[in-house]
Structure formats: structure tokens, C-alpha cells
Structure 1
Amino acid sequence: MPVSLKCTIVVPTIREHSIKEFLAVWKKALISAHLIVIEDNPTPTFDLRAYPQVTHYSWNDIDRDLGANNWIIPRRTDCIRSYGFWKAYQDHPDMVITLDDDCHPVDDGTHFIETHWEALTHSGTSEAWQQTGEGIPTRGIPYFQRHREWPCMLNHGLWDHVPDFDAPTQLVQSRVPQTFIPVNQTIPVGRYFPMCGMNVAFRPELIPAMYFLLMGKGYQYDRFGDIWSGVLVKKICDHLGYAIKSGDPIVVHQRASNVWANLRKEAPGLEVNEEFWSAVDRLCLTGRTVIECYQEIAESLTLEGQYWSALREAMLLWSGLFTKAEIHENLASPPRIKGNSLPASQSALV
């Protein structure tokens, strides 16, 4: 980890044994980082004071900080980590990483933070030209400059051991096992990707859009908070001219969740998942900042029903936590990108 790098790591948990094992196995790799642990309980039920780099929050802190708007942080779901993102924003870090409490490092994780940072500080590259046939390129295809290079705003790390499958795939895997093979890539412009919240690094400029949606207790949908958040983030990054990468660094995902519980949680959202990305994709954004784009999506999303009305309100309340005065004080300089300068027109991200 570079000496001058300021990194904040957000981990949601409800299991004392899992978070203490997590802190033990990551001790060497995360020693210079600030860890924000969000316990998904009304008050803390275990003691983390032995870990000086850890700040431990629970529902009480959410209720105190957000008051009447505390409902925008859902409970009994990993999406409670959104509160941790807001607290991380107040840290003024160079990079935020979120991990699940059952994700362990490969070996001792020495280069974990450094690998995420390297991804964020180098441009994402993807194909910008498509041939109209196979074989020899036809007239007009550039000889050398055929790629698009954009500053990277989010790096989606992947996993070994237990892949991030949905319940139907878990069931199929029990009969017809197949192998998940991680790939290092820049997600192409105009395409979406299944963003899993268990290993993600991003620049603090993106936090106003890194809201994991209303899920779990009190809501009809669950286990899509990170996926749908990823759709919104990708839409915004494509519009503003920022890349999203996926691949390294890998973590070891230790725990396979109960397939039948997952199936019950996921079932209501499986059909809506077919519609959600299309509804977002149809939107034509005009905003010039992350907050403007996020609010534009919240106000324009056409899905109907009580859940979507509540979600639109929650998204607007979430983005309202980041006032322009605070943001410009926090982000006095644009992201530091190696090998590709940030265009002046894109220096005001939020």
C-alpha cells in the first residue's frame, strides 16, 4: 500500500465470529486502512475496541445521524453498508473499498489494496470500432487508434472458492457443476455488469451514486441492492466518460449462503430484474455531475408501484446528504489518473 494513500474500508456484519475472523486474517493487509464496520443490529452486540483502526457503528448511529430520514438505510440486509459509504465520505479518503465479512485474502493479501489502487489510477480501455464483416478490415477502420481510454472510477474485484451465484444457478450447479473463471476487463461502454458488493473499490467522488437500494426487512425485494446500484453507476459513468473495470484483486469467498433462503428472497425480484436495467437504459441523461445524474435518474425512473415511489424518494434523500459546498471542499482537485489526463470539462465530478 503506498505510504500516502488514504483508504477507508466498509464492512457490514451481523456475525461476531465472522467479523473477528475477518479482522484476524486481514490484519497485515489492512493495517494502514481505516475500517468502518456496520453492525446490522439496533445496538452493538460485540466489542471491537481491541482493533484501533476500526470504527464500529450500529442502527443507533444511523438513527442519530439521519433522524427522520433513517429509513433510507435498510436493515437486515447487506445494503446497510450504504451508511458506511456516507461515513467513509466524511473521511476524505483517496479510495473506498467495501468487503463482505466472509471474504478472506489470497495468501496474506499484501498487495490487495495496491492492486485496487493501480486499477483506479490507470485508464480503462475498450474497443471503440466494430468491423462490419470477418477477416480483412475494410476501408475506414483506423490503423492504430481503435480503442477508447477513460479514467477509471470503480474497480470490481472478483472471488474464488464460492462464486456469487443466484439461487436458480446454485440449484443447477448442484446437479451440473461448472467453473467460474475470473476475467480482467474494462466493462464496455453501453453494457451493464452484475456488480457484487463483496469486493469493490471506488473513488470517493462516486459515493453520491453508490447507494445500495432499499432491500430486505420491510421491502418486497432482496439481494438486488448491489446489482441495481451497479446498473445506475454504470449508466452514470458511461454518460460522464468514466471507465469501470472488473477482475483483480481476487478474494476468497468462504461462505455459501442457504440456497432455499436465497430463492425466497430473490424470487420477487427476478422478473423485475429483466425490466429494471431496460428502464434505466432508456433514460437520456443531461447532468454534468454524479449528483445531477443520480437525481435525474431518481426523478425520471418510470417503474410504477409503492416500492418504486419510496425508492425514488430515498435516492433523492441520499443524494441530498452530499451538499455542493461539502463536495467541492472535499474534492478540490480532480482524480489522479496515470497515463490519461482528466479532461477539464469532467473535473467537477459531483
Structure 2
Amino acid sequence: MRPPSLLSLTIASALAHITDIVDLTDIPDFLLIELFLGTLRAGKLTEKVLKVFIATGNPHILSFIESLGIKIALTPILPTLKDDEVDIVITALKPDLGFLEEWRPVFSRFHLIIVKDPDLLDADLKIPPGFPSLDVYNQSDMESLVGKKALSLLQFTGFSARYFGYLVSRRRYIIFIDADCIPVRDDLGHPMDVVNQHLVNLTTPATPFFFNTLYDPYIKGSDFVRGYPFSLRCGVDCAVSCGLWLNTPDCDASVLKSGKRIERIADAVITVPKGTMFALSGVNVAFNRELIGPALFSGLVLAGEGKVRHKTMEDIWCGMCVKTVCDHLGYGVKSGAPYVQRCVDGATEQESPECTMVAANLLEVAVPFFQSIRLPRTAISTEACMLEIVKLVREKLGHADSSFARAADSMEEWVGVWRSLHAKL
């Protein structure tokens, strides 16, 4: 058996320490090429190592990198956002908005849009001081902006009142937090900045085409794993950031899980893969209005649904519409941090399994529908995508349940109102 050559021993030694090498410019070309090929075969071509090889300027190395379609993922520089690029939308389901007292350190810099549930009628809202920029909208404002006829289809009541806030916003980023939530506090008792974390999610790329097992590679402390295609490391625009919460979870037939609580924060963010549906919740969500705004609407309201979030299907339907549009247009959706603290008492949110099964049965029809539909290439805007979904809902789901037909009518009306109002900007 022939002993290993000096060249092979040199390459093996260099490969064993390749991640520690910071300069290869003085290496002879033949040795450099052998080392590069050995690095590829060993699966050790990380982004850091790739930059070291590129820095040599060797034309053979650069040509080989180009032929493989390898691209450097630039570390994104977060844009300097101005406070007037963000709207915080709050729905007033009760007259007393005392919970905003907890949010003052986080929200006071931004403009607030408070949408009053029409069911409150003439009740005066109790809004804590300390929010210098806010607008309050009520039933009268809804009627004057969209008209009574459209309003009867859009039904901006209960949790759906938030859609009116999305409609009247003129800022790039919209953040919605439920009225039963307060900030999570760190070990020193300071409120965690949910706004900043949402903006980090929205202003750094998403990676929907290949799952990164270290979660969001753009978050501090994370990175791309070995084997992640270099051609995909630049990512795509993130359109939606879905935050989570502590305390009461949203579960089906929660009467059977009334004592369940979420007490641990998983400090991680993931991109929902392309082609995968997920259960969006409006408890704690943010989105880029300019990219995906018209898709943030549901229209699916079931008979007997009230103002308990887990008794409604609107979030889930809205999420499937949003994900379908994002997948088609090439945007990303992130889920995970930031967290909020829900204050609602799970014992008061009981629901019979029979009621849950009505929604569950509809989902057994709706989920395969959204998994199977493909929007035409001619749909190149969010509004166009929504209208294509409307058409498909009518064709394929309208016969299954009248709720789907009504949802299609509401979604079509929503797109029309959105276009009408935003054309005046």
C-alpha cells in the first residue's frame, strides 16, 4: 500500500483547520484549487470559508463558484426606520382601554389607530394618557368611508374591527395586538419591545424555499447551516411576522384544555416553508402593508360566532389567503418571537366540542382547497391574487357551505373598497 503523498497530507491538514484559515492569497494556484475541491467534497464550504477563497481572486476558483450558482448572502443592514412608518392597530371591544397603560413605554412613540367595536354604540372609550398620536374610528367613520352597503358585507365587528384599521392606515408597517394582551417583561421587569422584534422580522429576508435548521439565519446568534444552497441565501422579502404569546393557548375544544398554559418563551423565529399552510392568529401580528395589505382580510364568519377568539375561523381563513398570496408572489412569512402576555382567563373561554366540530369540518374542506390551488401568472399584485382566490372559492367551495360563498362576496367587496380608498392617496 502506497504511503500518502505530501500533497494529500497537506490538503488533509488544511481541511482539518479550514474554518480557522483567514488568508489563502499566498497559496500556489494548484494547491489552492485542490484545497477548494477538497473543501467541497468534505462539505465544509461555509459562507466564511467561501469568502476566504473568493478573496484570493483566483480566476479558476471564481469561475467554478459562478458555474455552481453559488452566491454570497449579504448580511442585511437594517434600514433606519422612522416612527411615522409604523401604525399600531388596537380594537376596542370594551370601553375601558386601561391595558394600554402597560404598553406606554413601547407604543408611545408610534401612531395608534383605535377602532371602536360598533356594538359599543355611544359608550365613551377610556384611553390612558401618554399617547400623543392616535386616531379613534367608530361606526360613523366606517359608514362614511366605505358606505352602508359595503359595510353590511365587510362586518367590521368584534375582532374583525381590526380590518378597518388596516384599511385606513397609510404607513408601511402595521402591528396589531389584541386588547387582552400586555408586554412580556424581562428579568429586570422591563417590557420587551415587541415592535422592534416585529420590525426586525419584517426588514430582514425570509427563507421559504429551503428550511434552515438553525431557524432564522438573519437573527443575531444564528446562521445558515452546512448544505444550505448558497443561491438561496439572499432570501426574499418578508411580508408577515406572526408573534406568539404566553398564558392561554388557542386550542380546539378548549373546554377540554381549560387548564393548559404556555409559560415558556422559545426565543426563535422561523420562516414558514413555501407550500405549507399554517394557522395564523391575529393576537400578535405585524405585516408590510405595501406588500401584502389587501390580503389581510377574512370574510369567513360562521353562524353563532362571538367575541371569543378561539370560537372564530376568521384568523385561520385569513392566514390561508395570506400564505397563498405570499407563496405566489414570492414573499415570506415568519412565525415565533416576539411574545406578548395574554391576560384572558381560559376558564371563561369554554366552548363545546360540538361547536368546534362545525369549524373543524369546514377546515377539512378548506385546507385541501388552499393546498391545491395555483394562481395564474397574470396575477402579479396582491389585489389580483385575492380576486383569483375569490373566483376559485366560488367555483370549488361555494357549493360545500354557504359560509364560503359569503366569504367570497366579502373578500371581493374588500378588494374593491381597498382599491377605491388607496387610489385617492
More helix by share: 2
Using the TM superposition, name which of 286-295 and 109-118 deviates more: 109-118
Shift of 1:57: 2.0
SS at match of 1:78: helix
Write the distance in 2 (CA, Å) between the matches of 1:48 and 1:158.
Answer: 27
Q: Deviations over 1:209-235 (max 9, x none)?
A: 101324267779951101110011001
1:53 aligns with 2:138: no
In the TM superposition, 1:250-329 aligns within 5 A as 250-257=339-346, 258-261=348-351, 266-286=356-376, 287-301=379-393, 302-303=396-397, 304=399, 305-323=401-419, 326=422
For structure 2, the residue ranges without an aligned partner over 5 or more in a row are 1-79, 213-226
Task: Please say if residues 124 and 244 of structure 1, whose CA atoms lie closer than 8 Å, have aligned partners that are also in contact.
Answer: yes
1:207 aligns with 2:293: yes
1:6 aligns with 2:95: no
2:193 aligned partner: 111
Using the TM superposition, name which of 176-185 and 301-310 deviates more: 176-185
Task: Please say if residues 255 and 352 of structure 2, whose CA atoms lie closer than 8 Å, have aligned partners that are also in contact.
Answer: no
Shift of 1:124: 0.8
Shift of 1:52: 4.1
Shift of 1:70: 0.6
Aligned AA (1:319): V
More strand by share: 1
Write the distance in 1 (CA, Å) between the matches of 2:273 and 2:281.
Answer: 18
1:185 aligns with 2:295: no
Q: Deviations over 1:16-52 (max 9, x none)?
A: 33x22x2211111111211112221343412357554
Q: 1:129 to 1:243 in 2, by over 3 A?
A: closer
Task: Please say if residues 243 and 338 of structure 2, whose CA atoms lie closer than 8 Å, have aligned partners that are also in contact.
Answer: yes
Write the distance in 2 (CA, Å) between the matches of 1:210 and 1:252.
Answer: 23
Write the distance in 2 (CA, Å) between the matches of 1:86 and 1:239.
Answer: 23
SS at match of 2:253: helix
Task: Please say if residues 72 and 214 of structure 1, whose CA atoms lie closer than 8 Å, have aligned partners that are also in contact.
Answer: no
Task: Please say if residues 299 and 408 of structure 2, whose CA atoms lie closer than 8 Å, have aligned partners that are also in contact.
Answer: no
Write the distance in 1 (CA, Å) between the matches of 2:136 and 2:125.
Answer: 9
Task: Please say if residues 253 and 352 of structure 2, whose CA atoms lie closer than 8 Å, have aligned partners that are also in contact.
Answer: no
In the TM superposition, 1:108-257 aligns within 5 A as 108-109=190-191, 111-126=193-208, 128=210, 144-145=230-231, 149-163=235-249, 165-169=250-254, 171-172=256-257, 174=259, 182=266, 183-205=268-290, 206-215=292-301, 222-257=311-346
1:26 maps to which of 103, 114, 126: 103
Shift of 1:158: 0.9
Aligned AA (2:344): R
State how many pairs are aligned.
312
Shift of 1:293: 0.5
Q: Deviations over 1:212-269 (max 9, x none)?
A: 3242677799511011100110011011100000111111111134343475754421
Q: 1:217 to 1:56 in 2, by over 3 A?
A: farther
Write the distance in 2 (CA, Å) between the matches of 1:15 and 1:219.
Answer: 18
For structure 1, the residue ranges without an aligned partner over 5 or more in a row are 131-140, 331-350
Write the distance in 2 (CA, Å) between the matches of 1:326 and 1:76.
Answer: 22
TM-score by length of 2: 0.66
Task: Please say if residues 280 and 297 of structure 1, whose CA atoms lie closer than 8 Å, have aligned partners that are also in contact.
Answer: no
Write the distance in 2 (CA, Å) between the matches of 1:162 and 1:218.
Answer: 22
1:73 maps to which of 136, 139, 154: 154
- Structure of higher CA gyration radius: 2
Shift of 1:146: 6.1
Write the distance in 2 (CA, Å) between the matches of 1:62 and 1:324.
Answer: 14
Task: Please say if residues 241 and 335 of structure 2, whose CA atoms lie closer than 8 Å, have aligned partners that are also in contact.
Answer: yes
Q: 1:73 to 1:48 in 2, by over 3 A?
A: farther
Aligned AA (1:65): L
1:82 maps to which of 147, 155, 163: 163
Shift of 1:306: 2.6
Equivalent pairs: percent with the same residue?
23
Write the distance in 2 (CA, Å) between the matches of 1:142 and 1:47.
Answer: 52
Aligned-residue Cα RMSD (Å) equals 3.0
